Structure 1
Amino acid sequence: MRRRHLLALAPTAALAACTAPGGDSGTDPATDGSNDSGGSSDDGTGSSAGKDPSDDPTTDPTPEPTAAELLLEELEPRELAGQLVMVGIPAGTEIPRDVLEEHHAGGIFLLQVWESADEVDATVAAAQEGSRSDLPPLIAVDQEGGQVRMLRGDAARKTPSAETLGRDGTDAVAEAYTSIGEDLAARGIQVAFSPVADVVDPALGDDNAPVGALGRGFGTDPEQVGECVAAAVEALDGQGVAATLKHFPGLGRVRENTDFSAEGIEDPVTGPDDPFLDSFTAGIDAGAQLVMMSSAIYPQLEEGVPAMFSRAAIQDLLRDQLGFTGLVVTDDIGAAKAVADVPVAERATRPLAAGGDVVITADASLTGQLVDALEEWAAQDPANEERVKESALRVLTLKEQLGLLTS
């Protein structure tokens, strides 16, 4: 496995960036001379006064701004807010015109089952045409294999479920996810909402409705699941497709599916030191560029708060403890029963306040309300504005890494 520093924010643009765990600079004050008052300069005078730092060949020049950083400075407040929303487009429908042209959504994802490559291609083209030419959208799809394959027919090949792949081993995982990556790349889709990194509690098995019952998990052992997750991430990356680990910090211990129920979605066990987190760590180490937050509740992290709204889950655990610097997205906040009682505006702003980046809605009609809420929230406080810019930069940086932005 390889460790990548994902979407790291350059010093000139790190608006509210998180620090990695430990904060060790790798130097020892006792040995690096930083506390040595008796040190002498190169000119033998004991003073460095009057020296131009640029004369020091060891001084790094200020790095050139990236395409993402340059574009960030050009965007209007509504465009910044819009980049933090991804909108679901059901099969057989068209992208509502206002989603991209008025609300500047950062991307779309394909909902339901698409069996025609031509229809997928037409939708991808429409998304590109509806966006600013220098600000193309991210295109994503749930493509896990097994029952969860939104692209079928001549749009994508059939691949086994994660449950089957987990039994067959990492070579089988790599083969399946290579084909998934090839199929998505061929359709102009840059983001896979997969793999599932949840470890299914063996005591629940098929009674775990969101994962176990659908064969979506690689297994019940965190180490084995982690190896499969890493193989999937690396296979997708090899095809130029960004992987999304889901559903952090894990849905393997809940009984009900958060898409369809607001009850039975509490996991009383998962906490900061839980071994079930190891599969997510393996995916991060393998280079996953996105993590999708669960809408279940984890009292060991934050009582009564869905993980996608929890600072303890996103900032403290995922970012600070596990060191993830990439794009954090929500599970569906549009049609999911788990958050149906939360006001729409709060569904947009609470993930940002908790350290997340992008909200995902399966209900395209909510796009305007979500973008309105984010734009208004940013205008209320300079700290909120910086938080929106930080997340927008992560979105733009991912787009740049995927070859969507020109320098």
Structure 2
Amino acid sequence: MMIRSWWALPVVVLALVGPPAPVVSRPPATSTVSSPAGTFPACVTAAVETMSLEEQVGQTLMVGVPLHSPQGIGGLVAGYHLGGVFLSGRSTRSSAGLRADITALQRTAKVPLLVSVDQEGGSVQALQGTDFPDIPAATTLGAGPPDELRRTVRDSADRLAGIGVTVNLAPVADTVPSGTDDRNPPIGAFRRQYDSDPIKVAEDIRTVVAASQGAGVLTILKHFPGLGRVRANTDTSTRAVDRTATVDDPYLDPFRAGMRQDSAGVMISLATYPRIDPASIAAFSRPIVTGLLRERYAFTGLIMSDDLGAADAVESVPTGDRAVRFLDAGGDLALTIRPQNVGPMVAALLAAARTSPVFAARVTDAASHVLAAKHRAGLLRC
């Protein structure tokens, strides 16, 4: 496997640094999303301007890699200039072994990778075993004192940062109405919500975001605009619909609270919200991603998708078009847990960008958001 050299830029230097110390097919649209002036650090803007279109496209993709052998995907990372990896599956491996593999994987990347994992707690805890103690479910943590929630999240984030994980795909900001847990397959059935009151959920989300990012692990609020009222799981069904949600929905308050706490990112769900956009699932919806999240809520951070690889909710859409539709809606980082999807997604994104200057500008904007998250994670330095 060839080791890629680091960039040498005329005005900035992008360098791989260790993780923060523990204590520390629809055609593209004819308009695009412009980030507010001053959103990106100067070194991020300069870095993106030196990238080829192929490199920018690669930065907009995050691919799943098995926890038992994360270094095995290095060729894909280098060949497609990927923006990030998602450590998938479950593992009881030691922190030393995981850190060695993640470090080796980082060495294959021309631009340092965002390394993410699902470490919510309860039934959604990818890293387990001696070095990664069990984390209580969100319902349990939400019912306890804020100080205990803060300590638990801080300890978990310290352990993630210690192995080179820079992003936790958490916290869950969804609210499940009281008494409906078992009828809500993706969230309530697994007790992934902090409470049934969005005001209380918002308080806990602020605590989690501050504790995790204070330990150097970026947070991703999920699953915008909410999965707490659906009666199907987007992973296994095309019938996940929230017929109640509107742009003024109080169940959006936990997401807004997390944004105000400066969460690095937001994950877009694959459910449908007909009172906001009857035409598309959220990840492909310009009214939701751009209109609601970027414009109404003025969110300037990273927008990533829920899994566009294996989820039944997107099965009818050609693989490459899934990434195009997500970026066209205003998203930045398309997640697929299937490595074999990277080629078709890259090809479709390149074709759309070469056909439409407007979409090419959207790719540049998306790549800029990804690099801004890397800068914030301490992976890029001016």
Where on the TM-score scale, by shorter chain, does this alignment land: which range?
Answer: 0.7 to 0.9
Which residue in 1 is equivalent to 2:78? Answer: 101
In 2: Cα distance, 1:183 partner to 1:206 partner: 32
Q: Give percent identity, aligned residues only.
A: 38
Which residue in 2 is equivalent to 1:299? Answer: 274
Where does 1:119-134 land on structure 2 (aligned, <5 Å)? 119-132=97-110
1:128-164 Cα deviation digits (max 9, x unpaired)? 11101xx111100001011111011134222111110
Bigger radius of gyration: 1
In 1: Cα distance, 2:188 partner to 2:102 partner: 32
In 2: Cα distance, 1:64 partner to 1:379 partner: 25
Distance 1:202 1:393, change over 3 A: same
Q: Is the 8 A contact 2:33 2:330 kept in 1?
A: no
Instruction: State yes or no: 1:115 paired with 2:132.
Output: no
Which residue in 1 is equivalent to 2:353? Answer: 378
Distance 1:386 1:241, change over 3 A: same
The correspondence for 1:74, drawn from 24, 46, 50, is 50
Q: Is the 8 A contact 2:181 2:191 kept in 1?
A: no
1:26-83 Cα deviation digits (max 9, x unpaired)? xxxxxxxxxxxxxxxxxxxxxxxxxxxxxxxxxxxx9997221121111111110000
1:205-250 Cα deviation digits (max 9, x unpaired)? 2211100010100011010000001100000111011110000000
Report the more deviating stretch, 353-362 or 116-125. 116-125
CA-atom RMSD, angstroms? 1.9
Counterpart residue type for residue 346 of structure 1: D
Displacement of 1:103 in angstroms is 0.8
Instruction: State yes or no: 1:390 paired with 2:365.
Output: yes
Displacement of 1:351 in angstroms is 0.9
Displacement of 1:96 in angstroms is 2.6
Counterpart residue type for residue 34 of structure 2: A
Instruction: Please report the TM-score for the alignment, with normalisation by the length of structure 1.
Output: 0.82
Displacement of 1:98 in angstroms is 3.4
Instruction: State yes or no: 1:86 paired with 2:62.
Output: yes
Which residue in 2 is equivalent to 1:31? Answer: none
Q: Is the 8 A contact 2:73 2:105 kept in 1?
A: no
In 2: Cα distance, 1:106 partner to 1:324 partner: 21
Counterpart residue type for residue 181 of structure 1: A
Q: Is the 8 A contact 2:235 2:313 kept in 1?
A: yes
Displacement of 1:203 in angstroms is 4.7
Distance 1:252 1:378, change over 3 A: same
Instruction: State yes or no: 1:150 paired with 2:167.
Output: no
Instruction: State yes or no: 1:335 paired with 2:313.
Output: no
Aligned to 2:196, the other structure's residue is in SS state coil
Where does 1:4-403 land on structure 2 (aligned, <5 Å)? 16-18=33-35, 66-94=42-70, 95-116=72-93, 117-132=95-110, 135-263=111-239, 265-403=240-378
The unaligned stretches of length 5 or more in structure 1 are 1-14, 21-61
Report the more deviating stretch, 249-258 or 197-206. 197-206
In 1: Cα distance, 2:250 partner to 2:90 partner: 35
Which residue in 2 is equivalent to 1:26? Answer: none
Instruction: State the number of aligned residues.
Output: 349
Distance 1:211 1:380, change over 3 A: same
Displacement of 1:198 in angstroms is 0.2
Displacement of 1:196 in angstroms is 0.2
Q: Is the 8 A contact 1:165 1:172 kept in 2?
A: yes
Instruction: Please report the TM-score for the alignment, with normalisation by the length of structure 2.
Output: 0.88
Aligned to 1:305, the other structure's residue is in SS state strand
Q: Is the 8 A contact 1:99 1:368 kept in 2?
A: no
In 1: Cα distance, 2:98 partner to 2:236 partner: 27
Counterpart residue type for residue 269 of structure 2: S
Aligned to 2:255, the other structure's residue is in SS state helix
